[in-house]
Amino acid sequence: MPWAHEAPLPLEQTVELLRGFRGAFDLGRDYVYGILARDESEAVGGSGLHTRVGAEAFEIGYWIRASRSGEGLGTEATAALARVGIELCGAGRIEIRVDPENAASLAIPRKLGFTEEGRLRRVLHGAEGTPHLRDAVVFALLADELAGTPVASVPLEAFDATGARVP
């Protein structure tokens, strides 16, 4: 996410970034979500269900503004998106890839009951966007494992594009 390290972006760049996210969402290519303060006064992070890990699977990515870390926002967003991916979208696998040096991000899938599957070497981009500089620890949650994890007990309300609640 090189754009996150360059924030705040000029308004024109922010608008183009958001338009790109919306276009990919509408085309079913990638699903990026903002994480807002409860009163919607500020963006405190972002998350997404990413389709880059193959058919019937999603990768969840997340970031939280440094000033809001430690509040459980990343954990809450990750749990909700894991349920959406499995329960509403029918994914068989939810994957999370984490920089092994990012202790806060490593704690999220562990806390939620994801299984640590291993380490991939040099697959993550560097902070400035340079490809393949960092290793990743890979975590996964399979659909048939959901019921036995903390993810399953997280309250979830989902709505479609018209604002109708999705059962």
Which sequence spans correspond to the domains of the chain? 32-153
**CA 19, CA 25: separation in Å to the nearest integer?**
10
The 3-class secondary structure across 58-96, one letter per residue, is EEEEEEECHHHCCCCHHHHHHHHHHHHHHHHCCCCEEEE
For residue 32, what are its two tokens?
């990026």
Structure confidence at residue 115 (pLDDT): 98
Helix, strand and coil percent figures for the chain, each rounded to 5: 35, 30, 35
Residue 67 is given by DSSP the state G
pLDDT for res 104:
95
CA angle, 44 as apex, 70 and 31 as ends, to 5°? 110
CB of 116 within 8 A of CB of 139? yes
Strand (E) or helix (H) holding 50: strand 43-50
Q: What is the CATH number of domain 32-153?
A: 3.40.630.30
Judge contact between 52 and 61, C-beta under 8 A.
no
Residue corresponding to tokens 């405190």: 44
Phi-psi region at 83: left, alpha or beta (left = phi > 0; alpha = psi -120 to 50): alpha
- Looking at residue 167, what is its pLDDT? 79
d(CA 143, CA 5): 33
Distance CA 44, CA 63 (A): 9
Q: What is the pLDDT along the chain (167 residues), one digit of tens a residue?
A: 554 556 667 888 888 988 999 999 999 999 999 898 889 898 899 999 999 999 999 999 999 999 999 999 999 999 999 999 999 999 999 999 999 999 999 999 999 999 999 999 999 987 777 887 899 999 999 999 999 999 999 988 888 778 899 87
